[in-house]
Structure 1
Amino acid sequence: MGYGEPPRQRGSNAQTDSTVITLRWGLSADQAEADALKVYAEACENTVVHYTPAP
């Protein structure tokens, strides 16, 4: 994500917030961050992420 490690044990809300920030601001994730997000996101399979790109 470019700004730190993904949240680990804070649940789906933190995962969603982290994903929204990344998408909104067009941040990137290195492979390790992307892999970690996939693992943590498994517990959030019914979560829908809505965001508006930053200007």
Structure 2
Amino acid sequence: MAGCIYSSRVEYNDDVLSGMSFDKYDFIRSQINDSSRSAVVSEYMNNKQYYDSLDY
């Protein structure tokens, strides 16, 4: 069961990140000082409107 949950989370992160430019990813990563993919996805989804309004 835990493997399925982990796998679903990885797929979710991959889906979110695949729609994001590298510049946006790099900007978010530098803002939160955390390079983990899940932290970047979490920050992005919590502030999606803000990050989408930036010109990247």
TM value normalised by structure 2: 0.30
**Structure label with greater radius of gyration:** 2
Higher helix share: 2
Of structures 1 and 2, the one with the larger relative CO (CA 8 A, separation 6+) is 1
TM value normalised by structure 1: 0.30
